[in-house]
Amino acid sequence: MTLAIARVVLFVAGFLLWAVTSTYPMMDPVREGWDGSAYWQIGVPLVLATQLAAAIFSAERPSLAPLWVLSGHALAVLLIHPPGASLGLLPLTIVFIGLPSYATLFIAAMIGRKLAGLFR
């Protein structure tokens, strides 16, 4: 997998995590994606698996790979939010969700990099 493709896949995975769990009509009736169980029980594991696969099959640095997922996620948060909702809690979101998410995605990328080394 080329570096550009890996970056696009990671960005789209982050975007879809928010977009699908915030708007899909069969999900829990929530105001925002992370308020529902599908976000945490389905979406986050899928994004982590995507991060792991991208680390195995591409040369993206593990320290940069999570930023592509988080960038896609941040864009989706900015574009897809309930009418009348403000972004006043965005700084707290970055601290309490963004930083732990970066750490978790970084760990997945490091595991993927180690697995890639075993298969080469």
Angle at 64 between CA 87 and CA 98, to 5 degrees: 30
pLDDT digits (tens, 9 = 90+) for 1-31: 788 999 999 999 999 999 888 887 666 666 6
Question: Looking up tokens 């696009």, which residue turns up?
Answer: 8
Instruction: Count how many residues are written for the chain.
Output: 120
pTM exceeds cut of 0.95: no
pLDDT at 29: 64
Tokens of 76: 């989706």
State the pLDDT at residue 31.
67
- Give dist(CA 45, CA 95) in Å, integer: 21
pLDDT tens, residue by residue, 90-99: 777 778 888 8
